[in-house]
């Protein structure tokens, strides 16, 4: 195995035993949650669980030992709209990272845009040899709106999927208010007709509309 940056693998982080594990039951053959009746977690480069579990499908109780590689933290440069944030992501060392595929985040998901391994850009690599991952948030983006309320203009924002279309002349539902879109600012241009995706929109300009009936 690869020596880590500390030159030793002798440090230990105490961990709590999980409350349940997904396992294949030896009695009924079902793969599913097993409640942990008692157990402990130990290990340095591997997380070793030793304990007694109960199958949620048939109720069989047995002693198990499971092992999985201890997760590592990989540097992640995450961009969202026009900002980039440097952080780390926890991964299993054998997990393969691939450009243009998704990686799960604690609060959503992202698409990998570049990988650096051994000082070079690569298309894919195992997490253990990855020096940095660049990724772009793929879940939701905020779209800013300027809404004319009759005698004043207020700022609003709405969460949308990056590829969600906003169309001049359409109505955007903000919950309490509905807004008729007049213009859409995209980059240095202002659209007075047509549409743009949430990802490319700088600001939507519109006017609040009254609903004739409430549903
Ligand atoms: Zn079972």
From first to last of its 215 residues, the chain has per-residue pLDDT tens of 333 333 233 333 456 778 888 899 999 999 999 999 999 988 877 889 999 999 999 999 999 998 888 889 999 999 976 789 999 998 888 889 999 998 888 777 788 999 999 999 999 999 999 999 999 887 778 899 999 998 899 999 998 888 889 999 999 998 888 999 999 999 889 999 999 999 899 999 999 997 555 54
Structural domain count, the chain: 3
User: Ligand 1 centroid to 18 CA: how many Å?
Assistant: 19
Which residues are placed with Cβ below 5 angstroms of ligand 1, an ion? 25, 27-28, 55, 57-58, 60
Angle at 207 between CA 202 and CA 208, to 5 degrees: 120
User: Ligand 1 centroid to 62 CA: how many Å?
Assistant: 10
User: Ligand 1 centroid to 21 CA: how many Å?
Assistant: 13
Segments forming the whole domain that contains residue 167 = 141-209
84 and 54, same domain (yes or no): no
Return the CATH number at 34: 2.20.25
In a domain, 61, yes or no: yes
Strand segments (E) across the chain: 20-24, 31-42, 46-55, 61-69, 72-80, 83-91, 96-98, 102-105, 108-117, 120-122, 124-126, 130-137, 141-148, 153-160, 165-167, 171-173, 178-186, 189-191, 195-197, 201-209
In a domain, 2, yes or no: no
User: Ligand 1 centroid to 30 CA: how many Å?
Assistant: 6
**Angstrom distance (rounded) from CA 125 to CA 207:** 50
In a domain, 6, yes or no: no
pTM of this structure: 0.49
Buried-state track 176-213, b at ≥16 Cβ within 10 A, e below 16: ebebebeebbbeeeebeeeebbbeebeebbbebeeeee
The maximal CA–CA distance of the chain, rounded, in angstroms, is 72
147 and 127, same domain (yes or no): no
In a domain, 13, yes or no: no
In a domain, 190, yes or no: yes
Q: Which of 137, 163, 180 is the last residue of a domain?
A: 137
């Amino acid at each position: 195995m690869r020596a880590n940056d500390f030159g030793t693998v002798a440090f230990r982080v105490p961990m709590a035993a999980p409350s349940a594990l997904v396992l294949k039951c030896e009695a009924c053959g079902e793969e599913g949650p097993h409640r942990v009746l008692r157990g402990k977690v130990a290990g340095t480069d591997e997380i070793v669980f030793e304990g007694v579990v109960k199958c949620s499908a048939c109720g069989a109780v047995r002693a198990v030992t499971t092992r999985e590689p201890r997760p590592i933290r990989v540097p992640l440069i995450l961009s969202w709209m026009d900002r980039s944030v440097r952080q780390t992501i926890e991964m299993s060392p054998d997990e393969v990272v691939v450009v243009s595929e998704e990686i799960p985040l604690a609060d959503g998901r992202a698409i990998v845009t570049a990988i650096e391994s051994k000082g070079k850009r690569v298309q894919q690599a195992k997490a253990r040899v990855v020096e940095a991952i660049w990724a772009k948030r793929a879940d939701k983006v905020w779209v800013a709106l300027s809404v004319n309320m009759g005698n004043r203009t207020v700022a609003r924002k709405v969460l949308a999927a990056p590829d969600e279309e906003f169309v001049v002349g359409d109505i955007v539902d903000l919950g309490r208010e509905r807004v008729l879109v007049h213009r859409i600012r995209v980059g240095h241009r202002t659209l007075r007709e047509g549409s743009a995706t949430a990802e490319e929109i700088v600001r939507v300009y519109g006017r609040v509309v009254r609903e004739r009936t409430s549903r």
